[in-house]
Structures are given as C-alpha cells and as structure tokens.
Amino acid sequence: MSPLRWMITGAGGMAGRDLTDELRSRGEDVLAYTRAELDIASPRALGAIIRENKPSIIVNCAAYTKVDAAEENEALANAVNGSAVEFLANAATAGDALLVQISTDFVFDGSQRTPYEINDETNPLSVYGKSKLLGEFAASHADKHLVIRSSWLFGTHGPNFVEAIRNQIRKGTTPLRVVDDQRGRPTYTPHLAHAIIRLAQLAQQSADARGTVHYADAGDCTWFDFAKAIVEESGATVDVRPVTTAEYPRPAKRPAYSVLSTERYERLTGVEPESWREGLRDYLALKP
C-alpha cells in the first residue's frame, strides 16, 4: 500500500495542533493548514490545494467553536461548520480522499440517561450544535467519509475548561461554583489525536470502518466533578460547590446528559479509550 499523505485543516486550533504534532512525531507525510493559511470556505482555494497535493486523508479540525457567541452569529457558525464542510466533501471526492469530520456531543439534546450510540436521534439545542450537525450531513456527501464525535475537549493549545478553572484558582476565587447537572466525558486532545489516526487509517482501508464513530476519554462526570479533579490534581485548597444550570444561565442551551458510547470505536480498533484523569495529569505536567 502506498504511504498516506495527511491534510489537516484548522491546524492552529487545539485538536488540530495535537493531531499535526502526533502525525509528525510518527514520521507521517502531513500538510497542515491554519485558518490564516487556508480558508475552507473558499472552494477554489480548497480545490487547488487538494489537486496539487493529492492527500489520501483530509481531517477537518477547522470549526467555529464559540458555543455561546454562536447564538448571535448563526450565519457565521453555519458557514464555517456547515457550508465549508460541503466544499471540503466535494473537493475530497474529486481528489479520491477520505474526509474525516470532527463533530460534537452537542448534536444530542441530553434527554437520554444512557450513553448515546452513533445511531441515536440527534436534536441539537444550540446554534452551535445545529451547525455541527449540518457539518455531519455535509461530510456524508463525500464518497469516503468518517464523522468522529467527541466531547468536552481540553488541550494545551487553546482555551478550555481546565485553564478556566485554574485561572479562577490563581485569582483566589473561592468558593468556585460549578454546574453539577450536566454530565459528559472530558477528552484530552492528544488522546483524541491517537483515536483519529487509528480510525482514519482503518476507514482509508475499508468502507466498513466509515460512517460515524464516537471517541471520548474513559469515565463520565459532571462539570463539578471535573472541576474538583482539577483542584485536586493542582494541589490547590479551594472550595468547589455545585450549582444547577438554572443558577448559572448561559446564552446557549447545553444538553444535561451527553455521555457518548464508544462501543463502535472499541470494536473497530480493539483499543479502549484513554482516561481523562490521566489526560488531566499530562496536561498539568505540560502546563505547570
């Protein structure tokens, strides 16, 4: 089999940088484009780059991820998370490349109390969730496509919940009031990078590994539980108190329960998800 050439869009973001770094550390052939280097909303630019470089796998890490701001910027969120993915799908098909689209647990409404399987009904509550669901539909138009849903991402290359809590600790905020009625699976972006590589390699080889797959780190918790773990692992002495979503209103509505089932990921790869708690320790070791 000829060696793979990877193309990463949104390579300046949290997930994109960790994926690019991991691929390069493995000696893979990688083309990585930040938002400044490639506007995925430009079909002409996309088509030219893909025709010239002939990637085997295109991983789209570019996204509008400001969940609350999306409520007032619906057109922009839909353009980046939806329409641009349509352009990518068309360009991927024209270049006979596999398109890997990164999506989110926010495509679900949180009404379940058992982990969401890949075929469970989607019903996003927010503009962000709706725009990401548009992106899933758009990606499915590529002849070869893989949609990977993940959740509650944190990594060293972007704003995230871990750093937000640590900033509050540094400011001396106490008690910390954190929502305790939203449950999900935190995911460390280097762990997600490992999963993307495994899944993309399988999907490149076999149509049976395409479609939708969930990857999230092992262990579910609430944001309150997550904050307590951050405080513990940081060695801080801060009081963390639970509050309800109603006590901490945000512009965008969040699913109360968005735990993803990783059954298909485990079955395809033969690998169990890595631990978010281990990911948190790695994060803190890199950003003391």
What CATH number does the domain containing 196 carry?
A: 3.40.50.720
- For residue 181, being part of any structural domain is answered with no
**What predicted TM-score, i.e. pTM, was given to this entire model?**
0.96
The reply to whether 245 falls in a domain is: no
Model pLDDT, residue 126: 97
| Domain residue limits at 265 | 5-160+187-217+258-274
In a domain, 284, yes or no: no
Residue 128 is a catalytic residue: yes
Q: Do the domain assignments include residue 283?
A: no
Q: Is residue 24 part of a domain?
A: yes
The distance between the two most distant Cα atoms of the chain, rounded to a whole number of Å, is 57
Number of structural domains found in the chain: 1
Q: Which residues pair with 106 in a beta bridge?
A: none
CA distance 78 to 135: 8
Distances (CA, A) of 238 to 164, 244, 278: 14, 19, 21
Reported as half-sphere exposure (CB side, CA atoms, 13 A), residue 58 has a value of 34
Asked, for residue 244, whether it belongs to a domain, the answer is no
Tell me what pLDDT residue 251 has.
94
Say what the pLDDT of residue 2 is.
Answer: 62
Exposure on the CB side of residue 182, measured as CA atoms within 13 A: 24
Q: Is 54 a member of any domain?
A: yes
- Rounded to the nearest 10 degrees, the angle between the axes of helix 127-139 and helix 84-94 is 10
If the chain, 288 residues long, is cut into consecutive pieces of 10 residues, what is the mean pLDDT of each piece? 86 96 96 92 90 96 95 96 95 96 98 97 97 98 98 96 96 93 98 98 96 98 98 93 93 97 98 98 94
Which of 3, 59, 53, 56 has the alpha carbon at shortest distance from 27? 3
Residue 112 domain-assigned (yes or no)? yes
Contact of 15 with 102, CB cutoff 8 Å: yes
Which helix (H) or strand (E) is 243 found in, with range?
strand 240-243
Instruction: Report how far residue 55's alpha carbon sits from residue 139's, in angstroms, rounded to the nearest whole number.
Output: 16
Which residue out of 33, 64, 116, 128 is catalytically annotated? 128
